[in-house]
């Protein structure tokens, strides 16, 4: 079993705040700090500030020394894959080998329309993702990178310096749909399992998807991933299982229970226990949260928890009273 790790999902439109968050996370035991790749924040109104992902990660890398930095996840349509390979290679040097490149097929239709990006079908966008990963790996590993795919091609696209990490920086994919699982089985080092996005809405904007994505469904999709990995000639253990969790932690049992009830009501869970066990949520007292994390590790094999605390109190309690239980 892999060691349990925690990544911090940071959502910010303020540069100074982004640097403060990265510096603090660098000292708190987090494995990585991860940023979304959006032009408009999916968490706030579209007019609210949203920093560009890779520019901000470069700044974060420059003010940190230990923590990994990464995208969760970069839409391959927003930059040509050869450019993305070059950006990532440079960022691996800027961070002294600490990059995690998170990739996805994209889903926020309004961003594509606003910036005149084509928005093909889910199936075609996933085909583009698979093609882009192969191209990026070629640019990361080949002396004279050449790749001719169904969507993207390069011919002697020299990429020097290549990344510091060998054979290449870890690739994290995000999602859980059947086609995404097949791509992850063949190409991913880490899979961040979230409710599948079919209707152009993520779990924040479509709580019903999070309700359907219960622990049984999570285990089913992990099982499918493992079978697909074997078909691709890979050991399923080579793919690290991750999840994105909205976190509420309170030392007061009454306040913690109230928060769980509110979450269950707001999201539409059938009862409080369903909310407590939902893969997209982690809520309760520090002891309850520790038990739930241990349960998820034991039942699903998930070991990489990417967290989005809902308050400063939740953040501090997670760092001081929950994470030390699992970090060595």
pTM for the full predicted model: 0.95
Domains of the chain in start order, with CATH, are 5-252+278-325 (3.20.20.30)
| Per-residue confidence band for 203, with pLDDT thresholds at 50, 70 and 90 | low
42 vs 69: which has the higher pLDDT: 69
Is-contact 241 300, C-beta < 8 A? Answer: yes
Choice between 45 and 137, residue whose per-residue pLDDT is larger: 137
Name the band, by pLDDT with cuts 50, 70 and 90, for residue 43: confident
DSSP string, 51-91: --HHHHHHHHHHT-SSSEEEES-EEGGGS-HHHHHHHHHHH
The DSSP symbol for 307 reads E
pLDDT at 202: 58
* Tokens read off for 132: 């882009």
Residue 199: band (very low, low, confident or very high) from pLDDT cuts 50, 70, 90: low
Choice among 46-50, 155-159, 189-193, 244-248 with the minimum mean pLDDT: 46-50
Q: Quick check: helix, strand or coil at residue 278?
A: coil
Strands of 124-260 (E only): list them: 146-148, 153-155, 171-174, 190-193, 240-249
pLDDT in tens, 71-125: 999 999 999 999 999 999 999 999 999 999 999 999 889 999 999 999 999 999 9
Pairing type for strands 171-174 and 240-249 reads unpaired
Q: Which helix (H) or strand (E) holds 166?
A: none
In this predicted structure, what is the pLDDT of residue 201?
56
What pLDDT, on a 0 to 100 scale, did the predictor assign at position 141?
98
Give the model confidence (pLDDT) of 147-196 as tens digits: 999 999 999 999 999 999 999 999 999 999 999 999 999 999 999 999 87
Give the integer Cα–Cα distance in Å for 161 and 15: 28
Q: Is the pLDDT of residue 249 over 70?
A: yes
Q: What is the pLDDT of residue 204?
A: 60
Q: What is the pLDDT averaged over residues 214-220?
A: 95
């Amino acid at each position: 079993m892999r060691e349990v790790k925690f990544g911090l999902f940071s959502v910010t439109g303020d540069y100074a705040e982004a640097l403060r968050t990265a510096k603090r996370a660098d000292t708190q035991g987090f494995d990585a700090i991860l940023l979304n790749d959006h032009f408009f924040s999916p968490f706030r109104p579209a007019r609210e500030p949203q920093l560009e992902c890779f520019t901000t990660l470069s700044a974060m890398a420059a003010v940190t020394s230990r923590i990994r930095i990464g995208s969760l996840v970069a839409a391959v349509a927003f930059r040509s894959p050869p450019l993305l390979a070059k950006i990532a290679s440079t960022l691996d040097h800027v961070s002294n080998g600490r990059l995690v490149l998170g990739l996805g097929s994209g889903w926020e239709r309004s961003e594509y329309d606003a910036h005149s990006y084509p928005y093909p079908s889910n199936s075609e966008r996933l085909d583009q993702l698979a093609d882009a990963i192969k191209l990026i790996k070629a640019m990361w590993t080949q002396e004279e990178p050449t790749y001719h795919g169904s969507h993207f091609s390069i011919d002697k696209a020299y990429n020097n310096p290549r990344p510091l990490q060998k054979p290449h920086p870890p690739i994290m994919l995000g999602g859980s749909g059947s086609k995404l699982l097949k791509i992850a089985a063949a190409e991913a080092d880490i899979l961040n399992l979230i409710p599948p996005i079919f209707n152009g809405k993520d779990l924040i904007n479509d709580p019903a998807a999070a309700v359907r994505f219960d622990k049984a469904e999570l285990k089913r999709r992990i099982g499918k991933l493992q079978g697909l990995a074997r078909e691709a000639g890979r050991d399923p253990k080579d793919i690290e299982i991750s999840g994105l969790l909205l976190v509420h932690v309170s030392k007061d049992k009454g306040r913690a229970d109230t928060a769980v009830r509110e979450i269950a009501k707001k999201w539409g869970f059938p009862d409080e226990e369903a909310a407590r066990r939902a893969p997209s949520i982690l809520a309760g007292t520090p002891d309850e949260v520790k038990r739930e994390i241990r349960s998820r590790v034991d039942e699903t094999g998930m070991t990489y928890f990417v967290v989005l605390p809902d308050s400063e109190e939740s953040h501090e309690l997670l760092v001081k009273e929950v994470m030390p239980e699992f970090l060595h």
